[in-house]
């Protein structure tokens, strides 16, 4: 078995015991990249020279007795929204095709401090404004979308190139590609981690977090990324728990909310069945299933878009005025619509978000976590990114995927997507666990319980350049 095929914690144990070196692990990752990249185009930029240099430094540090922890020597993919010093950061847009940051984003700097190795920058839907990432392919079926906007990260992890890749999540952009590519994806609580040095889509909805092969990987990386940063006024000054500690505590006695509306509407039967199976697994492990009604459900998506669109237009105001031709038609149109939104509509959406957040807090009085499908269905074709429902209506993939993921952004609650099943056609499906504010350890415990009682989590897609 190749090193890239092993779980992160097994590779970390081998590195710590000096059975393998970070250089060997990095070479394995780079070899896998060469095998898969022609089929997937998951990366905007690859950094083999930097990776091998970082790996040699890590190797010497460990040899000298300076082992930093389980992320030391582990390869990392970074979504191309995150600044990386000396490495081009394009946001997959012609607007930034020559931009080379001088300093690392806060999250990247923290992971470098933990000893991680940069393999490259992964593609995003342009400036994270979409859910399909047209540049990249799905590792389970390269002619299908990997989701977005962190599609390159999902593809890279799903194909086994890296154990972990960074994503961002404004309407589901970590969890959507995680579900479609068969990986774990963690969107933390709003304010848990700094977004400094990450290009914004919508500052009051943006979150940063990891996509990973296993649940414990996300726990390790999210712990390292988290913390207060005075430069990001959204971050909250509170202690950061070790999110991997007690991850195997089980779910006995936990009250699992099962929605009776919203997450049951306009959904592929196989996606609904995957969520029902996950609920049955948790019940069999001693959890109590509690039916809940999602409050103010009809207002969630209008609120998401009414906040996101003008905030995105404000962020890109100068670009939209001076170089609109450098945007893709899709993103430029969305920005122009956002710029035309009335200030009163934006303010009313902010007020409505407050009401939704309060109603969800009340819902959580009777449950510990909420369990729901991550998405309405599997990956669509890249050439035809629409879902056609039994009644004949067609829904754009971005709109369809965001429906189930956006509630966690509007509320700011932590949400973990975990692989749950594969369709009859061999495409991944996920379920998400939504928790109370700053309850990442709890949703990770639930996700870990599902992982340990399923053979779905941790699979690597068999894609290769030859197969494609």
Active-site annotation, residues: 79, 149, 173
Tell me if the bond preceding 76 is cis, omega within 30° of 0. no
Q: Is 7 exposed, middle or buried (0-12, 13-18, 19+ CB in 10 A)?
A: middle
Contact 175, 374 (CB under 8 A): yes
Residues ≥6 apart with Cβ < 8 Å to 55: 21, 22, 23, 25, 26, 73, 117
Structure tokens given for 429 = 């499906």
- Comparing CA positions, the residue from 288, 280, 291 lying closest to residue 421 is 280
Nearest Cα residue to 91 out of 127, 134, 43: 127
Between CA 4 and CA 74 the distance in angstroms is: 10
Which value, to the nearest 10 degrees, does the dihedral of the CA atoms of residues 28, 186, 210, 333 take?
120
Tell the burial category of 50 from Cβ atoms under 10 Å away from its Cβ (0-12, 13-18, 19+).
middle
Rounded to whole angstroms, what are the CA distances from 186 to 30, 45, 91, 169, 438? 25, 24, 21, 9, 12
Asked if 342 contacts 306 with a C-beta cutoff of 8 angstroms, the reply is no
Q: List, in sequence order, every residue forming a beta bridge with 187; answer none if it has no partner.
A: 415
Distance of CA 459 to the CA centre of its chain: 17
Asked whether 166 and 82 are in contact (CB, 8 A), the reply is yes
Helices (H), 172-268: 175-181, 215-225
Helix/strand/coil for 209: strand
Strands 415-422 and 394-396, how do they pair? unpaired
Exposure of 241 by Cβ count < 10 A (0-12 exposed, 13-18 middle, 19+ buried)?
middle
Cα torsion at 264, 265, 271, 273 (round to 10°)? Answer: 40
Which two tokens mark 41? 């185009």
């Amino acid at each position: 078995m190749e090193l890239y095929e092993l779980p992160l914690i097994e590779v970390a144990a081998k590195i710590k015991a000096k059975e393998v070196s970070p250089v060997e692990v990095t070479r394995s990752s780079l070899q896998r990249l060469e095998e898969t990249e022609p089929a997937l185009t998951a990366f905007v930029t690859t950094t083999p020279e930097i990776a091998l240099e970082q790996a040699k430094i890590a190797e010497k540090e460990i040899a000298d007795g300076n082992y930093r922890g389980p992320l030391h020597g582990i390869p990392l993919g970074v979504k191309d929204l995150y600044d990386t010093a000396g490495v081009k950061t394009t946001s997959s847009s012609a607007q930034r095709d020559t931009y080379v940051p001088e300093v690392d984003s806060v999250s990247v700097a923290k992971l470098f401090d933990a000893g991680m190795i940069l393999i490259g920058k992964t593609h995003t839907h342009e400036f994270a404004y979409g859910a399909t990432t047209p540049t990249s392919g799905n590792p389970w079926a390269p002619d299908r979308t990997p989701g977005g906007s962190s599609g390159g990260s999902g593809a890279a992890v799903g194909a086994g190139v890296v154990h972990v890749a960074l994503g961002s999540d404004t309407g589901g952009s970590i969890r959507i590609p995680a579900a479609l590519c068969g990986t774990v994806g963690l969107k933390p609580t709003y304010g848990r981690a700094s977004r400094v040095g990450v290009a914004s889509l919508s500052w009051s909805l943006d979150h940063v977090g990891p996509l990973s092969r296993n649940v414990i990987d996300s726990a390790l990386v999210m712990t390292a990324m988290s913390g207060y940063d005075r430069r990001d006024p959204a971050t909250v000054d509170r202690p950061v728990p070790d999110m991997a500690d007690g991850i195997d505590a089980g779910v006995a006695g936990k009250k699992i909310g099962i929605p009776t509306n919203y997450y049951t509407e306009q959904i592929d039967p196989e996606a609904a069945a995957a969520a029902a199976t996950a609920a049955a697994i948790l019940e069999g492990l001693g959890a109590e299933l509690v039916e809940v009604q999602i409050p103010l459900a009809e207002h969630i998506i209008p609120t998401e878009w009414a906040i996101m669109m003008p905030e995105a237009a404000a962020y890109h105001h100068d670009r939209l005025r001076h170089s609109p031709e450098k945007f893709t038609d899709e993103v430029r149109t969305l920005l122009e619509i956002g710029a035309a939104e009335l200030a009163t509509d934006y303010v009313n959406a902010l007020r409505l978000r407050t009401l939704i957040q309060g109603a969800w807090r009340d819902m959580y009085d009777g449950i510990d976590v909420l369990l729901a499908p991550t998405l309405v269905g599997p990956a669509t074709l890249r050439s035809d990114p629409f879902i056609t429902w039994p009644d004949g209506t067609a829904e754009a993939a971005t709109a369809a995927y965001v429906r189930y993921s956006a509630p966690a952004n509007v509320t700011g609650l932590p949400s973990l997507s975990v692989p749950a099943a594969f369709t009859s056609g061999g495409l991944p499906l996920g379920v998400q666990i939504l928790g109370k504010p700053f309850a990442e350890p709890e949703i990770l415990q639930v996700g870990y319980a599902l992982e340990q009682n399923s053979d779905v989590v941790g699979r690597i897609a068999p894609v290769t350049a030859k197969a494609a």
